[in-house]
Amino acid sequence: MIAWIISIISAILLFFIVWRKVSRKFRERCELPKFLFLKNLDAFGPTGRVSTQTQASQENHHGSNHS
Amino acid sequence: MTSDQISLANRYKFIRAHTYAAFAGLLVSAFFGLLVSIKFHAPGFLDGHGWDTWGRLRYDHTQGILYAWLGNAFLAFLYYAVPILARRNYTSERLGWVIFWAWNAVAVVGGWSLVLAGKSQPLEWAEFPLVIAAVIELSLLLLIIQFGLPFLRGGSAQLYVAGWYLMGGITFTAFAYPIGNIVPNVLPGAMGAAFSGLWIHDAVGVFITPFATAIAYFVIPAVTKKPIYSHFYSMIGFWLLFLVYPLNGIHHYVYSSVPMSAQHASEVASIYQGIDVIIVVTNLLLSIGVATEGTILRDIPLRFVWTSVVLYLIVSIEGSIQAVMAFNSFIHFTDWVIGHSHLAMIGFASFAAMGGIAHVWQQLPDVRSSRRLLAWSYWLIVIGLALMVLDLTGAGLVQADLWQQHLPWIDSVRASRPYWVFRTMDGCLLLTGFVTFGCSFFVGNRHPAAAGLKELSSSFPSSISADSHTDHWIATAYAATFGAGLLFFVVSFTALGILPAMQLHKTIAHTTPPGFQPTLTASEKHGQEIYARNGCAYCHTQQVRFTPADEWRFGSPTQAWETQAEFPQMWGTRRIGPDLARESGKRTTDWQLVHLYDPRVTVPDSMMPGYRWLFRGSADRPSQDALDLVSYLNQLGRAALLASSHEQTTPAAVTVSNTATRSQTVSELAMGKKVYMANCSGCHGIDGHGHSSSSRSLRPVAFDLAGFRLPPDRIWSALANGVPGTSMPSWNELPGSQFRAVGHYVLSLPDIAALRPDNQLAPHDTLMLAGKRIFDTHCTRCHGDTGDGNGTDASHNPRPPANFQQLEVSFPGATYVIRNGVPGSGMPAWPLLTPSETQAVTVYMRSMYRPVGPTQGTSGPITISSSKEDTR
C-alpha cells in the first residue's frame, strides 16, 4: 500500500513539474504570488520598509543556471 | 466587531499578548527542563513530593515548549502575517480573546497544574489530561475560523506559500490532534501505539514545521525586500510535506510488534521526507543567499531564521537516517534521540519562532527593542544548543555502544553521568539566552508611536495581471491537491493506524494463549495509573524489541497479545532505566518497595528519583499507592512468562565447577571490591554485613557476606543465576573479568576467626555442652539434629533454614542473627539468650561445619552452559 501512496504522491508532484515545463504561462503565473506578497507587504506591512517596485524574479534572473 | 472593523490597535494587542505569553511559556518550560536536567546527575535534588518528581516536571517541560512557547509565538505571528498574506483581516476580535484565554489560562496554566497534580496521560506529546486536550482541540478549530476563513475568502491561485503553510498547519493540526490524544485511550497496547506514533510525528510535522517554515518564507523576503528564489519549488515542498509527513510516525516503533509492513512504510516515507526538506531548504537558502549577495546577515531576526533553516536541514536528514531500521536498532531509546528532539524544537522550531516574533516586534509602534541584547541572545542560544546537541549525541552513542555489549544496565547510567552534568551547563547557557531574548523586547530604544502597520481597509492590491483562465486552473489544481492532502491524511491514518490495528487484532486473536485474562486487578490498575501519571514510561520502556541486544538483555520480544490491557499503551520512547516488560518474577516485592523508596540503596549510582511520598516515613511502611504500583510492576510480563513456561526448556543456567583452581591476585581483589561497591554494597553494605535499616527492609534481609561463609559454588551460582525467592538478581551480564573479580572479593569477605581465649566465656567443652542443649531446645526443629537444615519444621519456613554443615558461622555474624533474627526467612530473634548462651550455641554450630571441596577464594573460573559464554 505504501508503494501506491508514494507513487500517487510522486505522480501529483510530477504533474505540476510537467505542467510547469510545458506551459510558459503556468511557469509565470505560479511565480506571481511571491511578487504579490511583496506588494501586500508594501500595502499592509510596516510603513516605509518595503519598496513599492515589483522585483524581478530571482529564479527568472538566474533561470539559465537553475532550471 | 467584524473583521472589517478590527483596528490596527487591536491587532497590536493580540500580537503583544501572545508574545508576552510566549516569553512566559518559554522561560517556565525551559526552567522545568533545567530542573529535569539537574535531576539526572543529582537525583536527590528537589525531592520528596509528587509534584516535583522527574516525570511530572518532564511532562510540563515538553508540553510547555509545544503549547505555551511555540503555540503562543506562532499565534503572535499569525496576527501579524495573516492579514498581509490573505489581504483580509482575521475574523473576530472577540474570538481572538476567547482563543487567547482558552489557550493560555485553561490549556497551558491549567494543564501544567493538572500535570503537576498527577493528572496526566502517559502519551508522548499528548500528556495533558483529556479535559485539557478538549480545550486545545476547540482552540484549534477556532483557529480555522479566525485565520482559515480570511485565506478562503482571498482565493488560492495567488496565495503566497507562507499562507499555504499557515493554512495547512491550522487545518491539519486540528485533524491530527484528537487522533493522537484520544485514540490510544480507546485502542490498547500495540494498536494504540500505532496511532501514538503518528501523533508524535504529526505534532512536529503538521504543527511545528508548517508554522516555522511559513515564518522563514515570510521573514526572508520581508527583510531582504526581494522575492524568494522559486515559488514553484516552495509549493512542491509544501505539497510534499503534507502528503508525506503523516506517513512517518510509525518509525518511533520499529522492531516492535506493530506490523512490519507499517514499519517499512514509515521508513520509506521518512527517507522521502528528507528529499522534501532538501528542496525546501535549498530554495530558502538560495533566497537568502541571492538576496543578500553573500553579505553578513545584519538583521538579527533574519539571522535567527537563517539558523533555523540550516538546522532544519540537519535535523531532518538526521531524522531520516534515524528511521532506517539498521541504524535505529542501534541508537533508538538513547540520548541521541533527545539531542535530535532538542535540535528540532530549539534549533529549527524555536529559532524560527524567535526570528518571527522578533521581526514582528520590530514593526510595532511604541514598543522597545534592543538589537544588542537580541544579538547576544542569538549567540548564547546558538552556542548553548550546539554544545547540548553534541553532548547528547555523544551520550547517545556511548549508551548505544554499552547496550550492545553484555554489560550491566547501570554501567550505561554511570557512563552517561558526565554528559548529563555537561548538559545542565549547556541548559544554563540556553536559559540565559532565552532570558536575554525576552529582555531585548523590553529595553532599548522605543519605536515611534507613528510607526507600525498600515490599515487594511486602505486598498487591497489587485492581482498583478489578469489571466483568469490560467489562474482558474491553478486555483483548481491547488485546491484539488490540498483536498488530496487531506485525503492522504485520512489515508495515512488508514494505512498506518487503522489497517495495522486490524491486522494486530487478528494476530492477537490467533496468538493469545488460552486462559489469558486481558484485565488487571483493581490494585494493578491503580498501580498502572500511578505509573502513568508520574512519567515512569519516560525512563522505562515496556517493549522488548525484536533485536538481539534487547532479547539478550530483557528476554523474549513483546508480543501484541500481551498488551491488550494497556489503556493507553505505555511502551515509552526512551530508556534511562531498563525495560520493564519482563519485570514479573525478577524482583521480590520488598526489593521493589525499597528500590521505590530509595533507589540507590538497591542500585548504587541509580539516577531514579525516590518516591518517598508514596511511603509513611520508611521503606517498610508503604502506602496503598506504593503497594499498588509494585503490584502493577510485578505483573508486567507475567502472562508471557506463564505462556512460555509450557514451551520453553529451563532458562539457560550457569553451572559451576569447583574443580578448577585459581588464585586471586591483589589487583583482581581490588577490581572485585570496585565492582562490589558499584553493584552490591547497596544491599549487602559497604562491609558486607548488610545491617543498614534500608538493607534490612528487604525480605529476606540481605545475606551477611562478612559474617557467614557460604561454599564457593553457592556464591558463584548466586552471582550467575540470582537466588530465587530473594532480592538477589543474576549478575550474569557482568563481563567475565568483573564477574570473577567480584566473586573472589565476596569469597574473601567472611571473617570466621576462632574465639580469642580472652573472649571465651567458658571452657570449650562447657560451651559445647551448653550449646548443644540450647540448639536441641530451640533450633533443631528447623535446622535439624545435625544442623543440615532438614528439621521437621523446615518446610514451613519461607526460606530453607541454614545448613550449618555447609555454612561457616562467625561469632559476630551469629550474635547479630540470634539477637535480631532474619526477617523474611523464618528465623526469629532470640533476644532472651544471654551472651554466654549465644557464644555457646555458636561454638556448637561451628562444630557442625563439614566443608566439601575448596572453601574460600580458591575456586573459580566457572564453566558456562548458556549462550552467554562470551561474557565470561
Mean pLDDT of chain B: 86
- Judged by CB atoms closer than 8 Å, whether chains meet at A45 and B229 is answered as no
Spatial separation of the C-alpha atoms in residues B400 and B683, rounded to whole Å:
28
Q: Which residues of A touch B453 (CB under 8 A)?
A: 44-47
Look at residue B626 and tell me whether its pLDDT is greater than 90.
Answer: yes
pLDDT at B296: 66
Look at residue B464 and tell me whether its pLDDT is greater than 70.
Answer: no
Spatial separation of the C-alpha atoms in residues B474 and B463, rounded to whole Å:
14
Report residue B142's pLDDT band, with 50, 70 and 90 as the boundaries: very high
- Region of B163 on the Ramachandran plot (φ > 0 left; ψ -120 to 50 alpha; else beta): alpha
Look at residue A63 and tell me whether its pLDDT is greater than 60.
Answer: no
CA neighbours closer than 13 Å in the CB half-sphere of residue B192: 25
Those of residues 487-516 in B touching chain A at CB distance below 8 A are 488, 491-492, 495, 499
pLDDT at B293: 74
Which of A4, A20, A29 would you mutate first to test chain B, the one with the most B CBs within 10 A? Answer: A29
Residue B259: asked if its preceding bond is cis (omega within 30°), the reply is no
- Judged by CB atoms closer than 8 Å, whether chains meet at A31 and B231 is answered as yes
Q: What are the pLDDT digits (tens) for B76-120?
A: 999 999 999 988 889 999 999 999 999 999 889 988 888 889 888
CATH topology for the B757-847 domain: Cytochrome Bc1 Complex; Chain D, domain 2 (1.10.760)
Q: What are the pLDDT digits (tens) for B294-331?
A: 666 789 999 999 999 999 999 999 999 999 999 999 99
- Judged by CB atoms closer than 8 Å, whether chains meet at B239 and A12 is answered as yes
For residue B798, the Cα-to-chain-centroid distance in whole angstroms is: 38
Spatial separation of the C-alpha atoms in residues B34 and B19, rounded to whole Å:
22
Q: What are phi and psi of B108, to 5 degrees?
A: -75, -60
Distances in Å between the Cα of B319 and the Cα atoms of B313, B326, B429, B543, B572 are 10, 13, 25, 21, 18
Residue in the structure block whose three cell numbers are 523590553? B442
Look at residue B385 and tell me whether its pLDDT is greater than 90.
Answer: yes
Spatial separation of the C-alpha atoms in residues B182 and B209, rounded to whole Å:
23
Residues whose CB is less than 8 angstroms from the CB of residue B400 and which lie 6 or more positions away in sequence, other chains included: B330, B331, B334, B336
Q: What are the pLDDT digits (tens) for B563-590?
A: 887 888 888 889 999 999 999 888 888 8
Spatial separation of the C-alpha atoms in residues B587 and B622, rounded to whole Å:
17
- Judged by CB atoms closer than 8 Å, whether chains meet at B286 and A58 is answered as yes
CA dihedral over B449, B452, B455, B459, signed as positive or negative: positive
Q: Which of B158, B467, B495 sits opposite A25 (nearest CB)?
A: B467
Look at residue A56 and tell me whether its pLDDT is greater than 50.
Answer: no
Pair A44, B456: CB distance under 8 Å: yes
Distance from CA of A66 to the nearest CA of B (A): 10
Joined grid coordinates for residue B777: 531446645
Joined grid coordinates for residue A33: 504570488
Task: Of B45, B47, B41, give the one whose Cα is nearest residue B421.
Answer: B41
Task: Of B400, B872, B351, B381, give the one whose Cα is nearest residue B654.
Answer: B872
For residue A66, the Cα-to-chain-centroid distance in whole angstroms is: 14
Look at residue B231 and tell me whether its pLDDT is greater than 90.
Answer: yes
Task: Of B429, B270, B236, B281, give the one whose Cα is nearest residue B340.
Answer: B270
Q: Which residues of B touch A46 (CB under 8 A)?
A: 362-363, 451-454
Spatial separation of the C-alpha atoms in residues B477 and B481, rounded to whole Å:
6
Alpha helices by DSSP H, listed for B780-832, are 780-783, 811-820
Distance from CA of B523 to the nearest CA of A (A): 43
Look at residue B465 and tell me whether its pLDDT is greater than 60.
Answer: no
Q: Which residues of A touch B243 (CB under 8 A)?
A: 9, 12
Report residue B466's pLDDT band, with 50, 70 and 90 as the boundaries: low
Residues whose CB is less than 8 angstroms from the CB of residue B613 and which lie 6 or more positions away in sequence, other chains included: B48, B49, B50
Top-confidence range, B174-188, B451-465, B532-546: B532-546
Spatial separation of the C-alpha atoms in residues B287 and B228, rounded to whole Å:
5
pLDDT at B3: 53
Lowest-pLDDT range of B29-33, B521-525, B642-646, B658-662: B658-662
Q: Which of A9, A40, A57 sits opposite B84 (nearest CB)?
A: A40
User: What mean pLDDT is predicted for residues B283-291?
Assistant: 89
Distance from CA of B870 to the nearest CA of A (A): 41
Spatial separation of the C-alpha atoms in residues B9 and B365, rounded to whole Å:
10
Pair B673, B562: CB distance under 8 Å: no
DSSP, res B802: P
pLDDT at B722: 83
User: What mean pLDDT is predicted for residues B193-211?
Assistant: 89
Distances in Å between the Cα of B503 and the Cα atoms of B137, B191, B463 are 29, 9, 52
Look at residue A54 and tell me whether its pLDDT is greater than 50.
Answer: no
Spatial separation of the C-alpha atoms in residues B52 and B57, rounded to whole Å:
6
Task: Of B137, B518, B545, give the one whose Cα is nearest residue B330.
Answer: B545
Task: Of B276, B275, B278, B248, give the one whose Cα is nearest residue B264.
Answer: B248
Look at residue A64 and tell me whether its pLDDT is greater than 70.
Answer: no
Which of B6, B77, B158, B492 would you mutate first to test chain A, the one with the most A CBs within 10 A? Answer: B158
B228 touches chain A (CB under 8 A): yes
User: What mean pLDDT is predicted for residues B217-229?
Assistant: 94
Joined grid coordinates for residue B603: 542500585
User: What mean pLDDT is predicted for residues B799-810?
Assistant: 88
Helix (H, G, I), strand (E, B) or coil at A46: strand
Residue with the bigger pLDDT between B640 and B858: it is B640
Joined grid coordinates for residue B769: 555442652
- Judged by CB atoms closer than 8 Å, whether chains meet at A17 and B236 is answered as yes
Look at residue B483 and tell me whether its pLDDT is greater than 50.
Answer: yes
Look at residue A59 and tell me whether its pLDDT is greater than 70.
Answer: no
**Beta bridge partners of residue B358, listed in sequence order:** none
Distance from CA of B484 to the nearest CA of A (A): 9
Task: Of B310, B300, B307, give the one whose Cα is nearest residue B280.
Answer: B310
Report residue B867's pLDDT band, with 50, 70 and 90 as the boundaries: very low
Which H or E run contains B445?
Answer: strand B445-446
Q: What are phi and psi of B369, to 5 degrees?
A: -155, 145
pLDDT at B693: 64
User: What mean pLDDT is predicted for residues B220-240?
Assistant: 92
User: What mean pLDDT is predicted for residues B441-459?
Assistant: 74
Joined grid coordinates for residue B436: 536575554
pLDDT at B143: 96
Residue with the bigger pLDDT between B548 and B462: it is B548
Report residue B702's pLDDT band, with 50, 70 and 90 as the boundaries: confident
Distances in Å between the Cα of B499 and the Cα atoms of B182, B195, B487, B541 are 18, 11, 16, 25
Percent of chain B with pLDDT over 90: 44
pLDDT at A65: 38
Residue B568: asked if its preceding bond is cis (omega within 30°), the reply is yes
Which H or E run contains B754?
Answer: none
One-letter identity of residue B32: F
Burial B541-560 (b: 16+ CB within 10 A, else e): bbbbbbbeebeebbbbbbbb
Report residue B855's pLDDT band, with 50, 70 and 90 as the boundaries: low
Please tell me which residue of chain A has the smallest CA distance to B164: A33
Distance from CA of B512 to the nearest CA of A (A): 27
Please tell me which residue of chain A has the smallest CA distance to B159: A33
How many other CB atoms are there within 10 angstroms of residue B858's CB atom? 16
pLDDT at B125: 87
B360 touches chain A (CB under 8 A): no
Percent of chain B with pLDDT over 70: 91
Helix (H, G, I), strand (E, B) or coil at B809: strand
Top-confidence range, B346-360, B508-522, B686-700: B346-360
One-letter identity of residue B725: G
Helix (H, G, I), strand (E, B) or coil at B822: strand
Report residue B455's pLDDT band, with 50, 70 and 90 as the boundaries: low
Which H or E run contains B110?
Answer: none
B475 touches chain A (CB under 8 A): no
Look at residue B64 and tell me whether its pLDDT is greater than 50.
Answer: yes
Spatial separation of the C-alpha atoms in residues B437 and B287, rounded to whole Å:
26
Distance from CA of B9 to the nearest CA of A (A): 14
Distance from CA of B225 to the nearest CA of A (A): 6
Pair B181, B133: CB distance under 8 Å: yes
Spatial separation of the C-alpha atoms in residues B542 and B579, rounded to whole Å:
6
Q: What are the pLDDT digits (tens) for B648-667?
A: 444 444 444 433 344 557 77
Alpha helices by DSSP H, listed for B325-449, are 325-331, 335-342, 351-362, 371-404, 409-439
Look at residue B347 and tell me whether its pLDDT is greater than 80.
Answer: yes
Please tell me which residue of chain A has the smallest CA distance to B230: A59
User: What is the value of ipTM here, to two decimals?
Assistant: 0.78
Residues whose CB is less than 8 angstroms from the CB of residue B609 and which lie 6 or more positions away in sequence, other chains included: B39, B43, B47, B53, B54, B55, B599
**Beta bridge partners of residue B827, listed in sequence order:** B822
Q: Exposed, middle or buried by CB within 10 Å (0-12, 13-18, 19+), for B310?
A: middle
Pair B804, B840: CB distance under 8 Å: no
Helix (H, G, I), strand (E, B) or coil at B687: coil
User: What mean pLDDT is predicted for residues B476-490?
Assistant: 76
- CATH 1.10.760.10 in chain B, residues? 666-750+858-871, 757-847
- Judged by CB atoms closer than 8 Å, whether chains meet at B464 and A54 is answered as yes
DSSP, res A56: P
**Residue spans of beta strands (DSSP E) within B264-389:** 368-369
- Judged by CB atoms closer than 8 Å, whether chains meet at A58 and B228 is answered as yes
pLDDT at B688: 87
Residue with the bigger pLDDT between B431 and B750: it is B431
Task: Of B726, B543, B521, B725, give the one whose Cα is nearest residue B628.
Answer: B521
Any idea how long chain A is?
A: 67
A-B C-beta contacts closer than 8 Å: 162
How many other CB atoms are there within 10 angstroms of residue A64's CB atom? 7
Helix (H, G, I), strand (E, B) or coil at B784: coil
Residues whose CB is less than 8 angstroms from the CB of residue B538 and which lie 6 or more positions away in sequence, other chains included: B54, B55, B58, B572, B574, B576
**Beta bridge partners of residue B160, listed in sequence order:** none
Spatial separation of the C-alpha atoms in residues B215 and B75, rounded to whole Å:
11
Q: Exposed, middle or buried by CB within 10 Å (0-12, 13-18, 19+), for B98?
A: middle
Look at residue B473 and tell me whether its pLDDT is greater than 80.
Answer: no
Pair B694, B598: CB distance under 8 Å: yes
DSSP one-letter string for B559-616:
PGGGGTT-SS----S--SS---TT-TTTS-HHHHHHHHH-HHHHSTT--PPP-GGGBS
CATH topology for the B666-750+858-871 domain: Cytochrome Bc1 Complex; Chain D, domain 2 (1.10.760)
pLDDT at B329: 93
Spatial separation of the C-alpha atoms in residues B127 and B58, rounded to whole Å:
10
